[in-house]
Amino acid sequence: MDSGYIEISNLQLVFSVSLVIITGIISSLLQLGLVKPLIWGTIRAFVQLSLIGYVLTYVFKLNSLLVIIPLIFIMAWVASREATRRISNAPANPVPLAFLSLTASTFVVGLIVVAVIISPHPWYSARVMIPIFGMLLGNSMNAIALCLDRLYSEVQAHADEVEQLLCFGATPWEAVITLVKKAVRAGMMPTINSLMIVGLVSLPGMMTGQILAGMNPQSAVRYQFVVMIMMAASVAIGCILIVALSYKKMFNHDLALLDSMRKN
């Protein structure tokens, strides 16, 4: 088995754009209105990936916690903004709470995986730490977005029931606990589905990349299993934290449901 990876030349990279052209033609023929977003997304992806390639090369050479930790915090802040950008029914700015949830869940799980399970030398190796934390943030970001949006939607849809429970003496947490469970399940379901089909339907990106780089498939499978489990743990912690921090924002000082949480 080859131990080296197959390098993609500049010409091959340019040729890969033909796949975007095919997608754009299909979108245009079906009048989906996705040509401009597709082109803009392709340009952004290329620029962002190119820039991060140079940044990571520099960070890997430095291999210092003084650089790694601030970079992870920046990644968490960007992820928190993206996770809450499309949530229009939030009673308060959800970005700080999303940032706290993402940061806490990522560091709790990420440090265990990096320092205990993978155990590189040094334990804070940038080449290991940044990709691992990046995967955790990416998956937790999507889960938190689904969870938070579902929480607000469920409360708005069941505002009368929540208010009745409050009138009967229930606390805000008791009034929304059933809806909170639905929101957490919604946030975790994509990750659970991925656990169910991995290896049967899909070969995830990390495993595929390692195999293409020449790693033994059995070793790649071990890494992928760790990745899947760590993402499930991070998603669970992130979803629980975001609902625990967010549900109080739907009530005023008198413990009554805010007007904004009722359907117009």
User: Residue 108: what pLDDT?
Assistant: 94
User: Residue 1: what pLDDT?
Assistant: 45
pTM of the predicted model, to two decimals?
A: 0.82
Distance CA 174, CA 176 (A): 6
User: Residue 238: what pLDDT?
Assistant: 94
Mean pLDDT by 10 residues, the chain (264 residues): 66 85 86 85 89 90 92 94 85 90 94 91 90 91 92 90 90 92 93 82 70 77 87 94 92 83 67
User: Residue 79: what pLDDT?
Assistant: 93
Residues 6+ apart with CB under 8 A from 39: 20, 24
User: Residue 105: what pLDDT?
Assistant: 94
Distance CA 112, CA 73 (A): 18
For the chain, the domains span 1-62, 63-261
Cα diameter, the chain: 69
User: Residue 34: what pLDDT?
Assistant: 82
Distance CA 34, CA 20 (A): 11
User: Residue 236: what pLDDT?
Assistant: 94
User: Residue 263: what pLDDT?
Assistant: 66
